[in-house]
């Protein structure tokens, strides 16, 4: 995608990002910033950071001359402190940094700023699945997201589905919303050596053997408990274990109840906070990847699994079919037995069918790139500055 060179100075509000805690939005921020810095050296970036993310962002982006850092020294793990800092300290810091534009990639933005604003709203999950948030935080999120949508000159969505959701739940017009898809790290498609993968998996899944994989934090809308229930239905028909990668969230009680009903709960392995190499290994070693989510702004794990050469079983809900197209296997989450049937079918695919399917899926997944995400983001930022002049 061709984009014009620009010398504007963009402030980036990274206060929402806590390493290892905010899932796909962290990947979106870090990968997009890296691609902008790499491919758009004329664009000046002033990153407003918190205590948790400042070291990692400096490590990743400090080598770029056009990137500067301003730590607001707030601990973002304290949500109240982070919100207050975003509304008070950030506008002052943006004025001092003399930015032409303030971009907030994580849902919310200052109510007042000394320059035009762009906000990325990755999804409207809190509206469709309110059970994912505590009531007081849900109310605060609604107020702040809607205010950000009103104040921003432009809004960035990460899928056409999310764009439609933003229009539905805020006062934003479609003309103010740009779509920038996400991408999977190409490293997922680079096979680890058999010895290296075996060593990593021995540490993650002692005893070896085949496994079904799911990568998702246990929020209620991720529907991980339904996967465990489906696994229980084919328990005696397959030798597989079920590997669940993700942090424990508000859907944990329902998940634990499903695990405890299994004849052997030990066949479910829980893993958290894997590094990139571990994640590559566990994707590449899986017989099937299952993503039972009922709502996604994008659904990055689907693309990561496709890139890694693993057959994917997932739903058509929300943005997922926009990401997976017809190169994943869909199940009906309203049919209790459909997921177990689809898993059993995929793990029994002959090698030829599996190879042909995953080869096509990997080629398709490579069509998404962080450079494209960066290019489209820069177009939106540049257009915002021009429209404000």
DSSP conformation class of 239: -
Q: Where are the alpha helices (DSSP H) in 186-251?
A: 194-204, 224-233
pLDDT digits (tens, 9 = 90+) for 285-338: 999 999 999 999 999 999 999 999 999 999 999 999 999 999 999 999 999 899
Number of residues that make up the chain: 389
Query: Which parts of 147-215 are beta strand (E)?
Result: 154-157, 177-179, 211-215
In this prediction the pTM is 0.93
pLDDT digits (tens, 9 = 90+) for 76-101: 999 999 999 999 999 999 999 999 99
Which of 122-136, 184-198, 233-247 has the weakest average pLDDT?
Answer: 122-136
CATH of domain 186-365: 3.40.50.2000
What residues does CATH 3.40.50.2000 cover in the chain?
9-183+369-382, 186-365
Q: Is residue 98 within 8 Å of residue 105, measured between CB atoms?
A: no
| 3-class state of residue 210 by DSSP | coil
Is residue 162 predicted with pLDDT exceeding 90? Answer: yes
pLDDT digits (tens, 9 = 90+) for 350-374: 999 999 999 999 999 999 999 999 9
Q: Is residue 158 within 8 Å of residue 28, measured between CB atoms?
A: yes
Tokens of 76: 């973002």
Is residue 221 predicted with pLDDT exceeding 70? Answer: yes
Q: Is residue 369 within 8 Å of residue 352, measured between CB atoms?
A: no
- Strand-pairing partners, residue 47, are 12, 69
Q: How confident is the model at residue 4 (pLDDT cuts 50, 70, 90)?
A: very low
pLDDT at 133: 79
pLDDT at 389: 66
Fold of 9-183+369-382: Rossmann fold (3.40.50)
Residue 345 CA to residue 330 CA, distance in Å, equals 12
Tokens of 162: 């999310």
Phi, psi for 118 (deg, rounded to 5): -125, 140
């Amino acid at each position: 995608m061709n984009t014009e060179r620009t010398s504007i100075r963009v402030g980036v509000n990274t206060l929402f990002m806590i390493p290892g805690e905010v899932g796909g939005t962290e990947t979106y921020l870090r990968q997009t910033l890296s691609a902008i810095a790499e491919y758009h050296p004329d664009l000046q970036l002033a990153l407003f950071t918190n205590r948790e993310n400042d070291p990692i962002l400096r490590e990743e982006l400090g080598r770029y001359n056009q990137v500067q850092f301003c730590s607001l020294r707030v601990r973002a793990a304290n949500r109240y402190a982070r919100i207050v800092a975003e509304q008070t300290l950030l506008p002052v810091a943006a004025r001092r940094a003399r930015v032409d534009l303030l971009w907030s990639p994580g849902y919310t933005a200052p109510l007042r700023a000394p320059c035009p604003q762009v906000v990325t709203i990755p999804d409207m999950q809190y509206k469709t699945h309110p059970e994912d948030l505590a009531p007081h935080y849900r109310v605060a999120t609604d107020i702040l997201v809607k205010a950000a949508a009103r104040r921003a000159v432009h809004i960035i969505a990460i899928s056409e589905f999310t764009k439609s959701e933003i229009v539905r739940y805020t006062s934003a017009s479609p003309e103010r919303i740009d779509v920038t898809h996400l991408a999977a790290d190409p490293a997922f498609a680079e096979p680890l050596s058999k010895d290296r993968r075996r060593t990593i998996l021995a540490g993650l899944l002692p005893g070896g053997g085949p496994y079904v994989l799911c990568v998702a934090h246990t929020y209620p809308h991720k529907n991980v408990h339904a996967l465990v229930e489906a696994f229980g239905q084919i328990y005696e028909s397959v030798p597989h274990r079920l590997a669940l990668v993700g942090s424990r969230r508000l859907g944990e009680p329902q998940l634990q109840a499903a695990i405890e009903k299994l004849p052997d709960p030990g066949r479910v392995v829980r893993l958290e906070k894997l590094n990139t190499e571990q994640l590559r290994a566990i994707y590449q070693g899986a017989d099937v990847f299952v993503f039972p989510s009922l709502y996604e702004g994008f659904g990055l794990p689907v693309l990561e699994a496709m890139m890694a050469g693993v057959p994917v079983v997932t739903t058509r809900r929300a943005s997922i079919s926009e990401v997976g197209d017809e190169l994943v296997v869909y199940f009906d989450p309203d049919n209790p037995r459909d997921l177990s049937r689809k898993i059993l079918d995929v793990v029994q695919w002959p090698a030829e069918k599996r190879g042909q399917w995953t080869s096509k899926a990997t080629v398709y997944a490579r069509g998404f790139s962080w450079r494209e995400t960066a290019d489209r983001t820069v177009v939106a930022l540049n257009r915002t500055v021009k429209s404000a002049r």
